[in-house]
Chain A
Amino acid sequence: MNRPRLAIWKFSSCDGCQLMLLDLEEELLALAERVGIARFLEASRRVAPGPYDISLVEGAVSTPEQAAQVERIRAESKVLVAIGACATAGGIQGVRNFLDFDQVAGYVYPQPEVIDSLARATPVSEHVEVDYELHGCPIEKGQLMELVSALLAGRRPDLPAYAQCQECKAAGTPCVMVSRSEPCLGPVTRAGCGNRCPSVGRGCYGCFGPAEEANPAALNQQLSALGMSEAEIGRWYRLYNAWVEPFRKQGGVGLKPDLPRDPVGRASARQQTASKSHE
Chain B
Amino acid sequence: MKARLIDKSGLQWLLDRLGSQGYEVLAPCLENGVVEAGPVTSLEELPAGVEEETEAGRYRLRFDGKEGTDLLFSHALTAMGWQRFLHPSSEPLWRAELRGGALEIQPLPAEAPRRALVGLRACDLAAISIQDRVLAQNDPRYARRRENLFLVAVNCGRAAATCFCHAMGTGPEVKQGHDLVLTELVGGGAHRFLVEAGSEAGAGMLQALPGREPEADDWEEKRARIEAASRQRRRLPEDTGDLLASSLDHPHWEKVGERCLACGNCTSVCPTCFCSRMVERTGLDGQQATHWRLRDSCFDSEHSYLHGGPVRRDRAARYRQWLTHKLHHWQAQFGTTGCTGCGRCITWCPVGIDLTEEVAALEVAA
Residues of chain A at the chain B interface (Cβ within 8 Å): 27, 30-31, 33-34, 145-146, 148-150, 152-153, 155, 158, 161-163, 165-166, 168-170, 172-175, 177-180, 184, 186-188, 201, 211-215, 217-219, 221-222
Contacts and interface: CB of A to CB of B under 8 A. Distances in A.
Contacts of A184: 350
Nearest to A157: B279
A180 B289 CA distance: 41
Contacts of A221: 351
A215 B32 contact: no
Nearest to A32: B284
Contacts of B286: 34, 152-153
Contacts of A146: 281
B260 A218 contact: yes
Q: Which of A172, A178, A214 has the most CB of B within 10 A?
A: A178
Interface string B309-347: 000000100100000000000000000000000000001
Nearest to A27: B284
A155 B282 contact: yes
Interface of B: 31-34, 36, 57-60, 79-80, 84, 89-90, 258-265, 268-269, 279-286, 289, 294-295, 297, 299-302, 315, 318, 347-352
Contact of A218 (B58, B280, B351): B351
Q: Which of B57, B262, B279 has the most CB of A within 10 A?
A: B262
Contacts of B80: 169, 172, 174
Nearest to B257: A215
A31 B299 CA distance: 36
A152 B299 contact: no
A178 B299 contact: no
Contacts of A188: 261
Given A163-B261, A187-B261, A174 B34 contact: yes
A193 B268 CA distance: 18
Contacts of A212: 300-301
Contacts of B299: 162, 213
Contacts of B349: 178
Nearest to B32: A174
A133 to B, nearest CB: 16
Contacts of A152: 282, 284, 286
Given A163-B264, A187-B263, A222 B57 contact: yes
Given A34-B284, A169-B89, A175 B84 contact: no
Contacts, number: 138
B86 to A, nearest CB: 15
Contacts of B268: 165-166, 169-170
B351 to A, nearest CB: 5
Contacts of A31: 284
A214 B58 CA distance: 21
Given A178-B59, A179-B34, A213-B318, 16 more contacts: A31-B284, A34-B286, A148-B284, A149-B282, A162-B299, A162-B300, A163-B261, A165-B350, A166-B268, A169-B265, A169-B269, A170-B294, A177-B57, A178-B57, A213-B301, A222-B351
A91 B284 CA distance: 30
Contact of B283 (A149, A169, A187): A149
Nearest to A165: B263
A165 to B, nearest CB: 4
- Minimum-distance CB pairs A-B, first 6: A169-B268, A213-B262, A165-B263, A187-B261, A187-B263, A170-B89
B301 A178 contact: no
B36 A165 contact: no
Contacts of B283: 149
Contacts of A211: 262
Given A149-B283, A213-B262, A218-B260, A177 B350 contact: yes
Contacts of A150: 282
A221 B268 CA distance: 23
Nearest to B292: A158
A215 B261 contact: yes
Nearest to A34: B284
A215 B315 contact: yes
Given A178-B350, A219-B350, A155 B280 contact: yes
A178 B80 CA distance: 12
14 contacts: A153-B282, A158-B281, A163-B261, A165-B263, A168-B265, A179-B32, A180-B33, A187-B350, A188-B261, A213-B318, A215-B261, A217-B258, A218-B351, A219-B261
